[in-house]
Every structure is written in structure tokens, then in C-alpha cells.
Amino acid sequence: MVVTIYSNWYEWNSIWLSPFLGAAILALTWLFGVRNEKLYNIISVLSILVSAIVSSFALYDVLIKHEIIIAETSTYWVSLLKIKVGVYLDGLGAIMATIVSWLSFLIAVYSIDYMKNDWGVQRYFFFISFFVGSMLLLVTASNLILMFIGWEGTGLASYALIGHWYSDEEQYWVGAPKRKALGLPMYFEPSTSGIRAILFTRVGDVGFLVGITSLFFLASSMSIPTIASTAGTWMSLLASKGMLTAFLLIFTLGALAKSAQFPFHEWLVTAMTGPTPVSALIHAATMVKAGVYYILRFAPIFFVGAIAAASAAAISETHQYFYIVAGLAVTTVFIMATMAIVSNEFKLILAYSTAEYLGYMILAVAVGGLFVTTHNFSAMADAELAGIAMLLAHAVFKAALFLIAGYALHVADSRFIDNMGNYSKYMKVTAVSMWLAGLSLAAIPPFSGFFAKELVLENVSKTGYLGLYIFAVLAVFFTAAYISRLIIRVFHAPPYIENKEAEHHLREAPILMLGPYSVLAIAALVLGALWFWTGKGLEIGIFETLGIQASPIYNVAIDASTIIITSLIVVDFVIIALLYLRRYNFMGLLDKSSTLRAIHGFLYDRWFINSAIYYLVLYPFAGLSWLLGVINSAIDSFYHFVLPKTGELLSKSLRSFFRGRTDYLIAMYIIMASIIMLIIYFGW
């Protein structure tokens, strides 16, 4: 690989600058009183398109010319921290920038019709451009400060877009109205969901910021390549003090929160209150993929650094770190898959699925880190490839599914799948797109989801940790079941709740909405059918990534376990589909069995995790806040009321006693001076 340093930094930095420039123009346009909707559409879409085109050129240079692109300002932005503004585009950075920008472009195009005549459309397109710019800055940044700015930018934009319909009409809620779990509401308004998103992720961001600050003192640099090259030194130092595992976990806390890993997943579930293109953007192209990018970027650095430290303590503590991350990831995978199987909200099912697949991505990379004890660089490279393959596959089919959901919710005028059915009769292209994207999610060959899933499971199985493998495989079967259920109930079975009036509005989506999700659905198939080229491109990209010391293997081993698991997935998918086509009364089983009813309620109420967070974390902290408020008020009252009043009364008493007589004052001074002298004398 060749490291190429570009003097004209703005050429490659336009990847993230273009959407920010678009957002700035939109802000000025609004300030000057221009409200023309088409103007906002065009500026936002074109600014993102520029990023997509430049990202594609960067990807070409990295994969074909084997370049690593560095484009930074010639002078320091912050001299004290030795920070320059610029991009670092290795294989991972170029792949991520290309995925983010092209998906964002298609979602922005879809938004033109979806958001037509919306009362906040100008604000919407401003934040879309700002969101995309922040994410692109995050994945291309050459240093941690720029990365953190992009990181926080995605958080701000997600808050604004999740709460876009802040007037909080019930049609924009998520969750069943009036439903409660352990006495707490399980339905959320847009304004509440936006706040939840920013609060949940801020908890992790504190850890990320602590890690960034600590790394500057440890590595004397904010540059990501420099941090990587000095990893052996600072990891050895932390390991010698028994602090390495704790530090790595604190540093990774932001990624776990951003990517909705247990126990931070609750914010993602309730983020469905925003416009559906926002859900597609958050779940497929931005925000939640930020945490996965962090893992993909820093896991190889931690792996190589632990080995370079030449310390048994560094190896042991790094292994422990990767095991904890893998455990959290597989926990997320399993619990989210079980929640999706009982949900009856279209977007909520997809939200559970997103958190599940994010877990698979992080699990894939984390299990590669477990091979740090054997210095197996090839295993780490294979794990990195599995993670990016899952990210790519998921980004494509999940964007398609959310965009399809957006139109389905629009024509049904409901978020519940009970109000949907037989859509294939009226929307054939949409139905085909749903099948293509759904089969990829279910990991059916030859779709891209199949190859990504196999790579993940292969890497997990190599570790020898049976528990991780069993739960990862079990979740695959739940996945096939819930997506089969969703496809059949919405597109092929009659609705549970008939609405003759709604049927008159059923027709194929407008071309600006139909086009993006059709292209994405076809891409889910093409990327898998042409896996030889897809996998080869990812292999080159990963080999060109900072910290990777070996070339990964992208071919899927078709062995007995692959055949058995895939066959069972297909059988699982078909059985569920047939049962719903035959209108099997699953809900009738709940009436007959209190045990099944309890299990269903437990899963539907999200394992009571939301309630537990409120009772065990939020309410105690709220109580502590109240207590501190009382103490603060008491102190405030003491200084601003008690002391002044006491002084005032004392002053009045002294004035009435002395009445201005100097002999009293002289006597008082003599007495006080005598007391002080006695204290000094006896003190000595």
C-alpha cells in the first residue's frame, strides 16, 4: 500500500464538507425568509450526491491503486493539541464513506415525496444534510477531535429528527397506547423519544470523551495513526497498573451506546417516532453505524497494541475486554430477536432487527480480538471482514425495508401490521422489493445477508466459546421467523382489522419513493449473487486498513454446519409463512395458556428492561437530584438569609449596648488583644 499525502486538502475533505455546506446554505435560505420546498430538496440532495461521487473516487484509489489518502491542512487547527483538519482514508474509511453517502443520497431522494407539504420540511432537510455531514466527518476524520465533533453532530441531528413531529400527535407515537409494564407507560411521543436518544447516548459519550482525553496524555497525540503506532507503549503502561481493561471499556462505552447494545438499546427502540426516512438513515447509514465503525477502527489497533506491548498482562486484559464486548453483543442479538417475534408494529420490528444486527457486527469483530492470546493476526483480519460484510449487507437491505415501511404506513394510516394486508395485490413492485430485502435479512442464499451471516458465525465458532455460538445461531432462526411473519402479514394475508376505506388508497408508490427502495432491494441480491467481487473488494479494503496485519478470507466455507443451519432457516421461514397464509390463530394460543401469555407479555414489554432502567437508574438519580436540591436550597438559605439576618440582629444588639462610647470600644480591643496574646503564648 502507498500512503499519499495531498496538499489540496479540500478535494478529499469535500466528502464531509459538501453536506455541511448544503446545511449552511439551507440555514441562510431560511433566515432570508425563503420557504420554497423544492429549493430545500435540491440543495440537500445535491450536496449529498457530491459526497457520494467523491467517496466513490476515494474508494477507487484505495481498492484499485492501493493508496491510503491523507489530506490535512498545512497548519495546525489547535496548536496545543497538534490537530490538523483533514481526512484519513484507508480501506475502512473509504468503504464507510461510500456506503454512508450513497445510502444517504437515496434516502434523501425518497424524502422529497415522503415529506412533501410537511409543516417542518425545511428544518427536516437542513438536519438531513447536517446529519450526513457529521457522519462522513466521523468516518473520515484523521484525528479523535474531528471524529468526536462528527460523533456529537450525529447525536444532535438524531435528537432533532427523531423529535421532528414534536407536536406529539398519537399517530406519530411508538408503542401501544395505554399499555404499561410494571406500572410504567410503554408508549412514547416524538419529543420524549428525542430526549431519550440524546440522554442514552450521552452516557456513553462521557466515556468516549474520557478515553479521548486520556489517550492524548498517554500517546501525546490525537492523530489516529499515531495512536495506533504507539499503542504498544500506552497499552503496556495501563496493563502494568491493571487498568487496561477498564480503560478500553470506558473508551468503548460511546460505541456501545451509539450502536444500541445492551443495556443502551432502549433509545433505538423508541426512535421510531421520527419520519420513516429518518429511521432508514439512522439504522442503515448513520448514527448506529458510528459505534460499529468505532469497533472496526479501534479493535485492530487494540489487538496489535496488546501484542506489541510484549506483556502477558496486556494480552490478558485485552482478551478480557474483547470477551466482555462479545458477551454484550451476543446478549443484544438474542434479546432483540426475541422481542421482534412478538411485535405488531412494522417499524418497531425493523428497529429490533437493527439492534440485533448491530450486535452481530460487533460480535464478529470482538471474537476476532479473542485470538490475541495466540497472536493470530489472520483471525483478527477475518473478523474485521465479517464485521464490515455484515455492515454492508445490513445497510442495504435495512434501508430498503424502512423505506418500504414508510410507504406501507402511509397508505395504511397506521403503524400496526394488524391494519395492513394483501398489499401485493396493489403494489407488486413494492412486494417484490420487500421479498428481496426480507430474504437477505433472513440470510437466505444467494443474498448478501447469507454470506455476511455465515462469515460472522464462522468466526464465532472458531473461538471455541460454545455459549456465544449457540445464542448467535438461535437468533438466526428467530430472525427468519419474524421477517417471514412480517412479509406475509403485510403483503399476502388479509388484514386482521378490515378497513375498506383504506383499500381505495392502495396503489404503487410514486417513482421518487419506489426507485430508491427498489434499487436497494436489487442491490441486496446482486451483492450476494456477485459475492466473488463483493467479497474481494472488501478483502482488499480490510487489508488496506490501519492495524490489519494479514489478508482476510472472504469465501464462505460450505461445510456441514452451513448446510444444516441454512436448511433449517429456509424450513423455518417457509413454515411460518404457510401458517400465516392459512390464518393460523397464534393469538388463540395465548388465551389457552397462561404460561404462553406471560412469555408473550414479557417479550412484548421488552424483557421489562425499560422499566428496570427507570426504577433502578433514573428514579434513584432523580431522588438523589431532589436531595441535592434540598441541600443546595438549605445552603443557599443559610448564606443568603440566616447569616445576613444574624449579622443584622447582632449589629443592632451591639449598637444598643455600646451606643458609640469610645471607652467601651477601647476596653473591648484591649480584652481581645490580651486573649490573642495568651493564645499565642500558650500555643508556643
Give the type of residue at 10: Y
Asked whether residue 281 carries a pLDDT value surpassing 60, the answer given is yes
- Domain tally for the chain? 2
The answer to whether residue 136 sits within a structural domain is no
CA distance 367 to 383: 7
**Residue 662 pLDDT more than 80?**
no
- pLDDT value, residue 668: 74
Q: Would you state the pLDDT for residue 506?
A: 87
DSSP letters spanning 278-304: HHHIIIIISTHHHHHHHHHHHHHHHHH
> What is the average pLDDT across 490-509?
80
- Residue 339 shares a structural domain with residue 384: yes
Residue 295, amino acid: I
**Residue 382 in grid coordinates:** 477475518
Q: Kindly tell me if the per-residue pLDDT of 1 is higher than 70.
A: no
Among 543, 572, 604, identify where a domain stops: 604
Specify whether the CB–CB gap between 611 and 182 falls below 8 A: yes
> Does residue 434 lie in a domain region?
yes
Residue 55 has pLDDT above 70, yes or no: yes
pLDDT given at position 274: 93
Q: How far is CA 494 from its chain centroid? A: 35
Shared domain check, 339 and 198: yes
DSSP annotation of 558: -
Sheet holding 2-6, edge to edge: 2-6, 67-72, 86-89
- Between the alpha carbon of residue 111 and those of residues 15, 38, 52, 104, 170, the distances in Å are 21, 12, 17, 10, 22
Grid cell listed for 519: 434499487
> Which residue from 349, 261, 292, 30 is spatially nearest to 154, judged by alpha carbons?
292
Query: Region 143-154: what's the mean pLDDT?
Result: 96
Indicate the residue type of 593: S
Question: How large is the greatest C-alpha to C-alpha distance in the chain, in angstroms?
Answer: 109
Amino acid 497: pLDDT: 77
Mean pLDDT is lowest, of 477-481, 524-528, 626-630, for 626-630
pTM, two decimals, is 0.92
The top-scoring range by mean pLDDT among 473-482, 488-497, 549-558 is: 473-482
Inform me whether the pLDDT recorded for 671 exceeds 90: no
Residue-wise pLDDT for 406-425, tens only, equals: 999 999 999 999 999 999 99
C-alpha cell at 442: 433472513
- Arithmetic mean of pLDDT, 615-632: 89
**597 and 650 in a common domain:** no
CA angle 63, 64, 70 (to 5 degrees): 60
Mean pLDDT of 373-384: 96
> In the prediction, which pLDDT does 19 show?
98
Residue 231 has pLDDT above 80, yes or no: yes
Residues 525 and 641 in one domain: no
675 — pLDDT class (breaks 50, 70, 90): confident
Please report the pLDDT score of residue 585 as a whole number.
85
Of 37-46, 212-221, 493-502, the poorest mean pLDDT is in 493-502
Residues in the chain: 684
Do 281 and 411 sit in the same domain of this protein? yes
Q: Which residue has the higher pLDDT, 44 or 652?
A: 44
Q: Does 395 or 9 have the greater pLDDT score?
A: 395
Is residue 101 included in any domain, yes or no? no
Neighbour-count burial for 391-411, b at 16+ CB within 10 Å, e otherwise: bbbbbbbbbbbbbbbbbbbeb
For residue 508, give the DSSP letter.
Answer: P
Q: Which amino acid is at 136?
A: L
Q: What is the pLDDT of residue 672?
A: 81
**What is the distance between the alpha carbons of residues 639 and 564, in angstroms, rounded to a whole number?**
75
Mean pLDDT of 502-526: 92
Looking at residue 431, what is its pLDDT?
98
Residue ending a domain, among 571, 604, 637, is: 604
Based on the domain organization, do 586 and 618 belong to the same domain? no
Q: Is residue 594 part of a domain?
A: yes
Q: Is residue 417 located within the same domain as residue 532? A: yes
What average pLDDT does the chain have?
A: 93
How crowded is residue 185: how many other Cβ atoms within 10 Å of its Cβ?
17
Separation CA 542–CA 468 (nearest Å) = 24
Annotate 69-122 with three-state secondary structure: EEEECCCCCECCCCECCEEEECHHHHHHHHHHHHHHHHHHHHHHHHCCCCCCHH
Residues 292 and 388 sit within 8 Å (Cβ to Cβ): no
- What does the pLDDT read at residue 557? 81
83 Cβ partners below 8 Å, 6+ apart? 76, 77, 143, 145, 146, 222
Does residue 194 form part of some domain?
yes
Claim to verify: residue 529 and residue 640 sit in the same structural domain:
no
- How high is the pLDDT of residue 382? 96
Average the pLDDT over 533-546 and give the result.
Answer: 95
- What is residue 259's predicted lDDT score, i.e. its pLDDT? 95
| Same structural domain, 271 and 204 | yes
CA distance 85 to 10: 10
Residue 228 has pLDDT above 60, yes or no: yes
pLDDT value at position 503? Answer: 67
**pLDDT for the residue 499:** 66
Same domain as 548, residue 482 = yes
Return d(Cα 396, Cα 448) in angstroms, integer: 9
Listed residues 549, 569, 604: the one ending a domain: 604
**Grid cell for residue 159:** 435528537
The pLDDT tens digits of the residues spanning 600-611 come to 999 999 999 999
Most confident of 193-202, 386-395, 557-566: 386-395
Residue 663, burial from CB neighbour count under 10 angstroms (0-12, 13-18, 19+):
exposed
User: 388 lies in a domain?
Assistant: yes
pLDDT over 60 at 684, yes or no: no
- Same domain for 564 and 645, yes or no, is no
550, pLDDT greater than 80: yes
> Is 300 within 8 Å of 236 (Cβ atoms)?
no
Whether 543 is in a domain gets the answer: yes
Q: What is the pLDDT of residue 78?
A: 78
- Whether the CA torsion 111, 528, 508, 580 is positive or negative: it is negative
Secondary element (H or E) of residue 156: helix 144-162
Please name the residue ranges forming H helices in 584-642.
Answer: 586-592, 594-604, 609-613, 619-637
The answer to whether residue 472 is domain-embedded is yes
Looking at the chain, the whole-number percentage of residues with pLDDT higher than 70 is 97
Of all residues in the chain, the percent with pLDDT exceeding 90 is: 80
pLDDT of 640 reads 84
For residues 334 and 596, give the distance between their C-alpha atoms in angstroms, rounded to a whole number: 19
Whether residue 631 sits in one domain with residue 581: no
The CA distance from 547 to 570, in Å, is 38
- Over residues 276-303, the mean pLDDT reads 94
What pLDDT is stored for residue 442 in this prediction?
A: 98
Range of the domain at 577: 163-604
